[in-house]
Structure 1
Amino acid sequence: MPHSIKTLGFDADDTLWHNERFFQLTETRFTELLSDHAEGDHLRQRLLAAERRNVGHYGYGIKGFTLSMIETAIEVTGGNVPGHVIGEILEAGRAMLSHPVEPLPHVEATLKVVSTEFQLVLITKGDLFDQERKVAESGLANYFKAVEVVSEKDDATYARIFSRHGAGADKAMMIGNSMKSDILPALSAGAHGVHVPYEITWAMEKADAPSSTERFHRLAHLGELTDLLAQIG
């Protein structure tokens, strides 16, 4: 029997490969560099506030994160941040941009199966060059019919993408780790939303799960996706 779902959208970072853990490690290094000027928790709060202010200017990703670290360092030192600290922050950002891509468990095996029956689209936020690098280095690119790097994920974004690469949002499913960016707007657009939690969630991606909807699903890991698709039919 033909499936009611025609298109599967996949988030990239922390859905297909590790990502947030490297931000957390860099953030810890950042607090160590500025430990003479503020406590770690205070620095994290100031950095998050800078990220919230700057996302509309720099977008999502490592470059915006690096600029927000520099801005926070200038703020907490009253403009007296040592040059070597700025240099170490920049080096940390460059290291993140060249970090090897490590796919999560079950990812490739699942993509190999579902790509034979569905049209797969990778839908991700972040810096274009960095996201393209990670897609290429992941070894997963051939499973996707299209890669969409977007500035924001909202219901209009999903409606547009699923119309372009399929039969519309009502015939699509979005799979990702972020309730805020991957699940809630996809549901609002009319698609199924499949939440696959990651071990760490960035504060700006946290949101409550929908109270009730037949199109919301939660999986422990991506290896459970094929069973879910069989149940939905």
Structure 2
Amino acid sequence: MSDTIRCIGFDADDTLWHNERFFKLTQERFAELLAPHTDASDLDAVLMAAERRNLGHYGFGIKGFVLSMIETALEVTDQRVPGHVIADLIAAGQDMLQHPIDLLPHAADAVRAAKSFGPVLLITKGDLLHQERKLAQSGLGDMFDGVEIVSDKQPHVYTRIFDAFGGASTGMMIGNSMKSDVRPMIEAGGFGVFVPHDLAWDFEAAEAPQSHPRYAELPDLGALPDFLNAVR
């Protein structure tokens, strides 16, 4: 396999640093704020439907999440949600944007191990300014040979990115999302390595291509150096 891997890409959120836990905490706060104003028992489902509906308008990230919370609050209260609740939701989103970056264990060592194969890329989706800030605060920025912040991760996106580094067939993508990191990279002709995170957004769920020769799953980033050494 070492003869075919020329470039390795990493996802960012919940692959190199924590992210989803801040969404979970804010969603719990959302439920607390709405509890006095609605008896909706399916609040999480209504919010998820709003998020899915709004991806095409706002894309991925905290700003779209906050707007979806506000839309959901209006929906489940028949437009009667108090203004102070809307203000609290906006403040919760601003707090999310200011959270310090907390690297996952072994993140830096994993990126160093990947560099022995050639160029290393960061490929992430979400809000441009927020993702740039997180990368700058992570301390990992200088380790990457390229950074791509994209609106979505589809096979053609990986094809475009890896074409500059020998093609997707010589590339590997490492991430915690089966739907965004692994399956589309394999569909583009590359290698997809799944590193699960304890918390996962339902939107990112997809079936693992267990039998595919270009698929691998690791328990955490600490296993990546040995995995890469084994495939040299």
TM-score band (shorter)?
A: over 0.9
> How far apart, CA to CA, are the structure 1 residues paired with 2:159 and 2:114?
22
Gap change, CA 1:232 and 1:116, over 3 Å in 2: closer
C-alpha contact (below 8 Å) 2:171/2:191 kept by paired residues: yes
List per-residue Cα deviations over 1:60-118 (Å, max 9, x = no partner). 00000000000000111111110100000000000000100000001112222332442
What is residue 225 of structure 2 aligned with on the other side?
226
C-alpha contact (below 8 Å) 2:8/2:117 kept by paired residues: no
List per-residue Cα deviations over 1:27-85 (Å, max 9, x = no partner). 00000000123457511111000001000000000000000000000111111110100
Query: Does the residue aligned with 2:102 lie in a helix, a strand or coil?
Result: coil
> How far apart, CA to CA, are the structure 1 residues paired with 2:121 and 2:20?
22
What is residue 85 of structure 1 aligned with on the other side?
85
What is residue 17 of structure 1 aligned with on the other side?
17
C-alpha contact (below 8 Å) 2:60/2:125 kept by paired residues: yes
What is residue 166 of structure 2 aligned with on the other side?
167
Aligned length: 232
C-alpha contact (below 8 Å) 1:31/1:40 kept by paired residues: no
What is residue 108 of structure 1 aligned with on the other side?
108
> How far apart, CA to CA, are the structure 2 residues paired with 1:77 and 1:127?
29
What is residue 197 of structure 2 aligned with on the other side?
198
List per-residue Cα deviations over 1:170-201 (Å, max 9, x = no partner). 11100000000000000000110000000011
C-alpha contact (below 8 Å) 2:40/2:76 kept by paired residues: no
Gap change, CA 1:211 and 1:220, over 3 Å in 2: closer
CA RMSD, aligned part only?
1.4
Query: Does the residue aligned with 1:17 lie in a helix, a strand or coil?
Result: coil
What is residue 31 of structure 1 aligned with on the other side?
31
Query: Does the residue aligned with 1:35 lie in a helix, a strand or coil?
Result: helix
What is residue 7 of structure 2 aligned with on the other side?
7
1:44 aligns with 2:44: yes
Aligned-residue offset at 1:159:
0.7
Q: What letter matches 1:193 in structure 2?
A: G
Q: For structure 2, which runs of at least 5 residues remain unmatched after alignment?
A: none
> How far apart, CA to CA, are the structure 1 residues paired with 2:224 and 2:109?
11
Q: What letter matches 1:102 in structure 2?
A: D
> How far apart, CA to CA, are the structure 2 residues paired with 1:123 and 1:149?
6
> How far apart, CA to CA, are the structure 2 residues paired with 1:33 and 1:43?
12
Aligned-residue sequence identity (percent) comes to 53
TM-score normalised by L of structure 2: 0.96
Aligned-residue offset at 1:223:
1.6
> How far apart, CA to CA, are the structure 2 residues paired with 1:118 and 1:178?
23
Runs of 4+ in 1 over 3 A off after TM superposition: 37-41
Query: Does the residue aligned with 1:34 lie in a helix, a strand or coil?
Result: helix
Q: What letter matches 1:82 in structure 2?
A: P
Gap change, CA 1:12 and 1:41, over 3 Å in 2: farther
> How far apart, CA to CA, are the structure 2 residues paired with 1:156 and 1:171?
15
Aligned-residue offset at 1:209:
0.5
The range that moved more, 203-212 or 107-116, is 107-116
> How far apart, CA to CA, are the structure 1 residues paired with 2:102 and 2:3?
31
Query: Does the residue aligned with 1:36 lie in a helix, a strand or coil?
Result: helix
Aligned pairs for 1:56-75 (under 5 A) are 56-75=56-75
Q: What letter matches 1:128 in structure 2?
A: L
> How far apart, CA to CA, are the structure 2 residues paired with 1:145 and 1:38?
50
Query: Does the residue aligned with 1:224 lie in a helix, a strand or coil?
Result: helix
What is residue 158 of structure 1 aligned with on the other side?
158
